[in-house]
Amino acid sequence: MGSTDISLLPTRACHNCRKRRWKCDKSLPVCHKCLSAGTECLGYGKLFVWNHGVASRGKMMGKSFSEVTSMPVSKKEGQAQCDVVRDGSKAVQKRVGEPENVDKELDDTPQDTIDPPRPEAQPLTLHRPLTDPLLKDLTPNSRYYLFHFATQLCADMVTYDGPGQNPIRDLIPATSAHPLLLQIIVANSAFHVFNISRDPMSQSAYQQSQKPCLVAYYQAVSRFGGDGPLKSSYHDALIAKQHALSLLARGVAAVNVENIDLILVSILLFINYDLIESGKDKWKVHMEGARKLIDLLGTPAFMQHPMSKLRQCILSDFLVFSILGSTFTFSSSPRLIPSSIDLSPILAYAETNNYLSCPSPLLRIMLESFSLPCKPTPSSSDISAEVQKQVATLLQAALLFDPIEWSLNFQPASPFEDLEQRVRIASAHRSAVCIYLARVLPCNNPLLDAGSGSALVSLTGLAEDIVHHISYIQPGDTMFKSISWPLFLAGAECEDPAQREWIMNTLDAFYDVMYWGYINTVKKVLEAIWNCKAKAAAGADNCWVDDVKEMGTEILIA
C-alpha cells in the first residue's frame, strides 16, 4: 500500500472528542478513542444534527410545536408565517409553526469557546417497536450475527456481491421461517466474529491501512450498543452449531422437493463453518452427506429445467470443494454430480462467481483425473504405463490452456470486471492444476525428472509462476480472495527462502481480509512441509503429500 498523504490527515479532533474534551488520536477512518469507548465516531468533517425546536434562531428557537400553536399571533406575524423557500427549481411552502426538516451545521468554534449545551428535549415515546419482523424474536447477539453475516460474511462466499448476484444473501429473509438456516448462519457469523475479536485494533494514530473487516466490526458493534468485542462469540458459535446439527438431522429425515435446496445450502454453510474454524477433518463428513442428497437431484422428481441460480451456486460450491478437498487424498472419489445433471451451467457459475474463480476448462481437467483407473501414492515407485500416459495427457491439456484466449470468451459476472486480474488468477490456477496433477506421480518419474529428457513440467518453475501472477493481485482487489489454493501449492513446492517469506506474508494479508481460520492451518502445514524438507537428506525423494498424510488430518484449502 502507498504511504498516506499527510495533507489528508485530520488537523483537529473528531466531533465526539471535541465535545467530551478528550485527547483525540486523529486516526483514520475512525477515531480509536471513540471505538474503545463503544461509541460511533462522528468523524472530522462537517456534521449535521437535527434541531429540537421549530426554529434554530429567533424567538421560536427551542420551542415545541405545541408551544408555538398556543402562542397568540398578531396579524402582521401571521402574514410573516408563510413564505416561499426555493430548493433548486422547486418552491416549497414553509410554515413557521411546522418542525423544520433542515439540518443545522455545527460551526468550527474552538473547543474552549463552545457554549454549555442546553438540556436535551424529552425523547418522543413510541408505542410500537420499530423492529424488522425478521429480527423481532432474536436475542441482541443473534441480531448482530445476522447483520454481520449480511454485511460481511456472505460477500466472502462469492466473487461479486451485487444485487441479484448472491443467492446466499437472497436466502437471509428465509431465516424467519427456517430455524436450521438461521442457526447455521448464526454459527458461521459468531465464529467469524470470534476470529476478528482476537485481533485487537491498532492504536496507531497514523496507520497507513486499517483492516477493513476489523474496522467494520468495531463500527457495527458500537451501533448495536456493544462495548467492544463480543466476549460470548465462541460460546454462541458452538451453541448455534449444536442447534443446527439437531435441526439438520430432522431436515434430512424429511427431505422433499420443496426443502432439498435449503437443506443443501445449510450443509454448504456447515462446510463454510469448518473453513472459518480451521478447515480440518469435519468438512468431509458434511461433503459425504451432501453427496447423497445431490444424487436425488439427478432423479426426475427433483430435477430443474432450467436450473435455478441458487442450485447452480450450491452445486458449483460443492463441486469446487470436492475437487480441492482431494488435493491430499489422490484417491478415486465417487462422482459428485450425477450424469443426468448438465455440468455446463454449474461450471460456468464456478468460474464467474464462485470465489475461487477457477476456469471451467481447468475444473474439467481435474474432474477427469478422478477417473484414473488406479491412483498411485506419490511415494510409490510403481506406476503403470497406462496411468502415466493418462496423467501426461491431462498435464498437456492443462499446459495448453491459454488464459488470455479463455478471457476473450469469458462472460463477466459484473460490469466492473477486471479481465487482467481474471487472466492473472487463471494463470496461477493453471500452474496449480499442473502441480496437482504432477503430484499423482512419483518424484523420480520421467515426466517430472529434468534429467530424463522427457519432463513435461518443472515443479519449482510452476511455483515461481504462481508467485509471479499472484504478486500482481493486492488486498482489496476482487480476485484477492481467490489466491489461497494456488498459493499453498506454490509454497509446498518452492525452495527459495525469500519466496517462502513472501508467501507467508501474503497469507497473513489474506487472513487480515478474510479472517477464516483455515488460513492459519495452511501456514502451519507449510511450515511442517518445509521442516520435513530441511531434515531430508540432500537429493532424497521427499514428497510433501506424504508428509501431510502423516499428519493424520483431512484438510480443505479453499
Are 84 and 93 contacting, i.e. CB atoms less than 8 angstroms apart?
A: yes
Nearest-angstrom CA–CA distance, 184 and 251: 13
pLDDT band at 412 (very low <50, low <70, confident <90, very high): confident
Specify the pLDDT at position 321.
Answer: 93
- Kindly tell me the sign of the dihedral angle through the C-alpha atoms of 259, 265, 271, 275: negative
Tell how far CA 395 is from the center of its chain.
Answer: 32
Counting residues of the chain whose pLDDT is more than 90, the rounded percentage is: 46
Closest alpha carbon to 351 in 303, 415, 417, 263: 417
Closest alpha carbon to 337 in 287, 301, 374: 287
Residue 277, SS3? helix
* Angle of helix 484-493 versus helix 497-514 axis, rounded to 10: 160
Specify the pLDDT at position 374.
Answer: 55
Counting residues of the chain whose pLDDT is more than 70, the rounded percentage is: 72
Nearest-angstrom CA–CA distance, 250 and 247: 5
And the C-alpha cell for 382?
510403481
Nearest-angstrom CA–CA distance, 309 and 164: 9
Specify the pLDDT at position 220.
Answer: 72
76 by Cβ neighbours in 10 Å (0-12 / 13-18 / 19+) ranks as exposed
Specify the pLDDT at position 61.
Answer: 59
Nearest-angstrom CA–CA distance, 549 and 329: 8
What does the pLDDT look like over 359-386, one tens digit per residue? 999 999 999 888 776 555 555 556 778 8
What does the pLDDT look like over 225-276, one tens digit per residue? 655 557 889 999 999 999 999 999 999 999 999 999 999 999 999 999 999 9
Are 384 and 185 contacting, i.e. CB atoms less than 8 angstroms apart?
A: no
Element (H, E) at 325: none
pLDDT at 539 over 60: no
Specify the pLDDT at position 75.
Answer: 45
What does the pLDDT look like over 444-475, one tens digit per residue? 777 887 777 778 889 999 999 999 999 999 99
pLDDT band at 24 (very low <50, low <70, confident <90, very high): confident
Specify the pLDDT at position 235.
Answer: 94
How close are the terminal C-alpha atoms of the chain, in Å? 25
Taking residues 35-57, report their average pLDDT.
Answer: 60
pLDDT at 284 over 90: no
Cis ω before 29 (30° cut-off from 0): yes
Specify the pLDDT at position 4.
Answer: 42
Place of cell 481480509: 513
Taking residues 408-423, report their average pLDDT.
Answer: 89
- What is the identity of the amino acid at 329? T
Specify the pLDDT at position 498.
Answer: 95
Count of positions (residues) in the chain: 558
DSSP H helical segments within 24-132, as ranges? 32-37, 65-70, 75-80
| φ and ψ at residue 158, rounded to 5 degrees | -135, 165
324 by Cβ neighbours in 10 Å (0-12 / 13-18 / 19+) ranks as buried
Residue 104, SS3? strand
What does the pLDDT look like over 495-523, one tens digit per residue? 999 999 999 999 999 999 999 999 999 99
Domain boundaries of the chain, sorted by first residue: 17-47, 141-551
pLDDT band at 222 (very low <50, low <70, confident <90, very high): low
DSSP string, 217-256: HHHHHHHTT--SS-TTHHHHHHHHHHHHHHHHHHHHHT--
What does the pLDDT look like over 289-345, one tens digit per residue? 999 999 999 999 999 989 999 999 999 999 999 988 887 765 556 689 999 999 999
Those residues with Cβ within 8 angstroms of residue 325's Cβ, 6 or more apart along the chain or in another chain: 283, 284, 287, 554, 556
Specify the pLDDT at position 52.
Answer: 46
If you count DSSP H runs as helices and E runs as strands, how many of each does the chain have, helices first?
23, 4
Are 60 and 116 contacting, i.e. CB atoms less than 8 angstroms apart?
A: no
Taking residues 53-62, report their average pLDDT.
Answer: 54
pLDDT band at 116 (very low <50, low <70, confident <90, very high): very low
**How high is the mean pLDDT of the chain?**
79
And the C-alpha cell for 441?
506421480
Q: Does the global pTM surpass 0.75?
A: no
- Kindly tell me the sign of the dihedral angle through the C-alpha atoms of 29, 32, 33, 35: positive
Tell how far CA 426 is from the center of its chain.
Answer: 20
What does the pLDDT look like over 120-163, one tens digit per residue? 545 544 444 445 566 667 888 898 899 999 998 999 999 998 88
Specify the pLDDT at position 103.
Answer: 38
Specify the pLDDT at position 228.
Answer: 54
pLDDT at 94 over 60: no
Closest alpha carbon to 509 in 215, 211, 264: 211
